[in-house]
Amino acid sequence: MSQENPTDQQEAGLDIPYEQLNPETLQRMIQEFVTRDGADWADSGCSLEDKVEQVLQQLKAKKIKVVFEQRSQTANLVVCH
């Protein structure tokens, strides 16, 4: 009986350089990401635009990256390890 490695069943995402994304698409992706949990950034004194800029700076600093999952046909922002 062969044993399967659990990672063999999981499809790895494809890293997508954020520079290759249409700037408007990237902007919308980041906006969706920062508002995903329903947070109202104005309550903390931070505007949506400020949060979007913070995430963009994290992308530029390679602290996070864009990953496209082929199986689900979705893209997400994830922490770089």
pLDDT at 42 over 80: no
Tokens coding 42: 């104005």
CATH superfamily of 13-79: YehU-like (1.10.10.610)
From the centroid of its chain, how far is CA 26? 10
In the sheet where 74-79 sits, what is the strand order?
14-16, 64-69, 74-79
Average pLDDT, the chain: 83
Asked if residue 11 has pLDDT above 60, the reply is: no
What are the sequence ranges of the domains in the chain?
A: 13-79
What Cα–Cα distance (Å) separates residue 65 from each residue in 46, 57, 76? 23, 11, 8
- Look up the pTM and report it: 0.74
